[in-house]
């Protein structure tokens, strides 16, 4: 009898943890935000845009033609005021724990995003593994109203596109926080644009490249897709890059995919003048060759290889020159290399690195080897 009583007591104690979440809010009272945007209005106030997932009704088998998301806005002088104004229009509590993407309009980015970063990193509902985007030539509101047929939530489409083309996702927020501690470096963010397809007569979204911010976190300009890829080659943040070059023999061009990328940065400081030598390495694979050339011949392959390296050096030098003269921001971690290789000189150059970087002499050397030419020598059906 005593054992039976002990058994009933143990059973009752085990039932206590199964009483349910009495101090938690039900899912039916929550509204999940998967993307948000911020614009700067003409009067200086902020416009906060949220893209929320609409819950499906129990009777909707496939959702029909009903939209799967809701876009709502809020205005105020700070992000917290905007969020309160937004919440007053919604019957369910905003939950931001699943937010993957944050979009800044171009005007907002030009005015500086430092204050906004405080609200993002301080909010416990924000995810550090989020992507922050700049809408090139437009507003976050216009972008977040563009429909995307392949995804129920347009706000998450860019993360999937970025993943497909080989870019890391969920890291641009961490990148900008890390770049703040890189000596002399200016942060960059992925840039997106809304384009109009005249043939299909519709608007769509596409990744443009990178938005370059100065050290005060204000927008300085943009790098397009190829310029961004060349930058990542120097900083060691990409695994492959496709390059098209003119054929050295015959008419046409050839396309290569370069992998096993590597870079070496060497610096020299003479008073306030800085010399930078960039050495690039990689292995190329021929993806397409249009001229009537047999790549199985060693002399032909060497000619193609020399033309590829000439193209890489020319394009990379143009990207660096654009960062020096047009953007005025070191996005290649050259300042970090100077600090590491010449710490005493860096103590003198740190405060005026933007000017020193703009006047620096940068030399690029490319040593890419073509390792594979594909499954054939000359193109088929050509003499």
Q: What is the Cα gyration radius of the chain?
A: 27
Please report the pLDDT score of residue 272 as a whole number: 80
The order of strands in the sheet holding 253-270 is 240-246, 253-270, 273-289, 361-372
| Rounded-to-integer distance, Cα 94 and Cα 31, Å | 5
Q: Assign 1 a pLDDT band (cuts: 50, 70, 90).
A: low
| Rounded-to-integer distance, Cα 199 and Cα 214, Å | 38
Higher pLDDT, 328 or 59: 328
Average pLDDT over residues 67-71: 83
* pLDDT at 166 > cutoff 70: no
Please report the pLDDT score of residue 15 as a whole number: 65
Report DSSP state, residue 367: E
Higher pLDDT, 327 or 375: 327
For each of the domains in the chain, give its residue range(s) and CATH number, in order of start: 27-217 (no CATH), 226-383 (3.30.300.210)
Average pLDDT over residues 82-107: 89
Residue in the block written with tokens 């596109």:
161
Q: Assign 261 a pLDDT band (cuts: 50, 70, 90).
A: very high
Q: Assign 8 a pLDDT band (cuts: 50, 70, 90).
A: confident
pLDDT digits (tens, 9 = 90+) for 267-309: 999 888 999 999 999 999 988 888 778 888 889 889 989 999 9
pLDDT digits (tens, 9 = 90+) for 102-133: 999 999 999 988 888 888 888 777 777 788 89
Higher pLDDT, 55 or 239: 239
Please report the pLDDT score of residue 121 as a whole number: 81
Please report the pLDDT score of residue 328 as a whole number: 92
Please report the pLDDT score of residue 268 as a whole number: 94
pTM, two decimal places: 0.82
Mind giving me the DSSP string for 54-103? PPPPTT-SS-TTS-SEEEEEEEESSHHHHHHHHHTT-SSEEE-TT--EEE
| Rounded-to-integer distance, Cα 354 and Cα 329, Å | 6
- Rounded to the nearest integer, the mean pLDDT of the chain is 85
SS3 68: coil
| Rounded-to-integer distance, Cα 60 and Cα 350, Å | 61
Percent residues over pLDDT 90 in the chain: 43
Please report the pLDDT score of residue 59 as a whole number: 44
Average pLDDT over residues 147-170: 74
Q: Rounded to an integer, what is the distance from CA 332 to the centroid of its chain?
A: 15
Q: Are 363 and 277 in contact (CB under 8 A)?
A: yes
């Amino acid at each position: 009898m005593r054992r039976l009583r002990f058994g009933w007591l143990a059973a009752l104690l085990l039932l206590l943890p199964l009483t349910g979440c009495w101090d938690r809010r039900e899912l039916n009272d929550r509204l999940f935000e998967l993307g948000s945007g911020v614009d700067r209005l003409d009067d200086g106030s902020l416009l906060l845009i949220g893209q929320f997932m609409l819950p499906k009704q129990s009777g909707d088998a496939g959702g029909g033609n009903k939209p799967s998301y809701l876009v709502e806005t809020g205005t105020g002088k700070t992000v917290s005021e905007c969020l309160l104004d937004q919440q007053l229009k919604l019957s369910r509590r905003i939950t931001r724990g699943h937010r993957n993407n944050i979009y800044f309009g171009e005007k907002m980015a030009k005015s500086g995003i430092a204050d906004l970063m405080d609200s993002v990193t301080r909010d416990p509902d924000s995810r550090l593994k989020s992507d922050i985007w700049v809408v090139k030539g437009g507003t976050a509101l216009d972008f977040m109203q563009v429909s995307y047929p392949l995804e129920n939530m347009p706000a998450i489409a860019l993360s999937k596109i970025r993943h497909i083309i080989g870019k890391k996702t969920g890291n641009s927020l961490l990148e900008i926080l890390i770049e703040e501690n890189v000596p002399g470096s200016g942060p960059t963010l992925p840039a997106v644009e809304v384009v109009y397809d005249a043939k299909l007569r519709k608007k769509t979204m596409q990744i443009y490249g990178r938005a370059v911010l100065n050290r005060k976190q204000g927008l300085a300009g943009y790098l397009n897709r190829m310029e961004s890829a060349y930058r990542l080659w120097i900083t060691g943040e990409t695994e492959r890059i496709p390059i098209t070059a003119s054929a050295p023999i015959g008419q046409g061009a050839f396309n290569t995919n370069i992998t096993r990328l590597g870079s070496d940065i060497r610096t020299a400081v003479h008073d306030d003048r800085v010399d930078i030598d960039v050495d690039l390495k990689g292995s190329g694979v021929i993806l397409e060759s249009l001229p009537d050339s047999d790549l199985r011949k060693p002399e032909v392959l060497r000619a193609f290889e020399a033309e590829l390296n000439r193209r890489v050096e020319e394009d990379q030098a143009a990207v660096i020159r654009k960062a020096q003269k047009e953007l005025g921001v070191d996005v290649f971690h050259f300042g970090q290399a100077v600090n590491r290789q010449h710490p005493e000189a860096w103590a003198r150059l740190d405060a005026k690195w933007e000017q020193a970087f703009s006047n620096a002499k940068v030399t690029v050397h490319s040593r890419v080897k073509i390792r594979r030419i594909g499954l054939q020598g000359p193109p088929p059906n050509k003499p």
